[in-house]
Amino acid sequence: MARMKFLCDADRCIECNACVTACKNENEVPWGINRRRVVTINDGKSGERSVSMACMHCTDAPCAAVCPVSCFYTTADGVVLHSKDLCIGCGYCFYACPFGAPQYPRVGNFGSRGKMDKCTYCTGGPETDGSAIEYEKYGANRLAEGKLPLCAEMCSTKSLLAGDGDIIAQIYKDRVVKRGYGSGAWGWQTAYRETIAT
């Protein structure tokens, strides 16, 4: 089985936000929630870099570890998913997540959180693959159809890579060797406890 990962090559990202839009459209993400976002560091200054960030589907995921109702699980492909039927909206995964991935639709009184929503790596959820209820709760299940997450698939500069960790790491390494520079595999050290030597 592959170990699915995301890799954003910040030297290629042109901050077009198409990954953000594609994700929202493909998964019918609730209003006010962005499973993926593009952030520009040192915006407007020399050496600025844009990074597209979502759930990184961490190895030994902190969200899963702190969840008081153990609603998280990791698929055979290494994708970190959760059950919205079990989630109680306590917000603990959000305190633990290094990437700010979990988000909560605001329901009811004061800051009361609804069921958590986050990037599913276009892998749906615990419901039957491709079912209507799965789509309604979690969005598309492209992986079950043999397709990769749409954000990476449609990236115009091929900055955002999705796929087996070893393969996308090799693609990134080759790029760095060929062009002679690279600002690093953003988030990899934190998410996977390994980085790609550049």
Residue ranges in contact with other proteins by CB under 8 A = 10-11, 15, 17, 20, 32, 34, 37-43, 46-51, 53, 62, 65-71, 83, 85-92, 94-100, 109-113, 180-187, 189-190, 195
Smallest distance from other proteins to CB 48, Å: 7
146 or 180, CB closer to other proteins?
Answer: 180
Nearer to other proteins, 109 or 132 (CB): 109
Measuring CA to CA, which residue among 132, 122, 117 is closest to residue 84? 117
Copy the structure tokens of residue 112.
């009361």
**Closest approach of other proteins to the CB of residue 114, in Å:** 11
Nearer to other proteins, 139 or 182 (CB): 182
Shortest distance, CB of residue 92 to other proteins, whole angstroms? 7
Give whichever of 82 and 142 is closer to other proteins, judged by the CB atom.
82
* Minimum gap (Å) between residue 142 Cβ and other proteins: 23
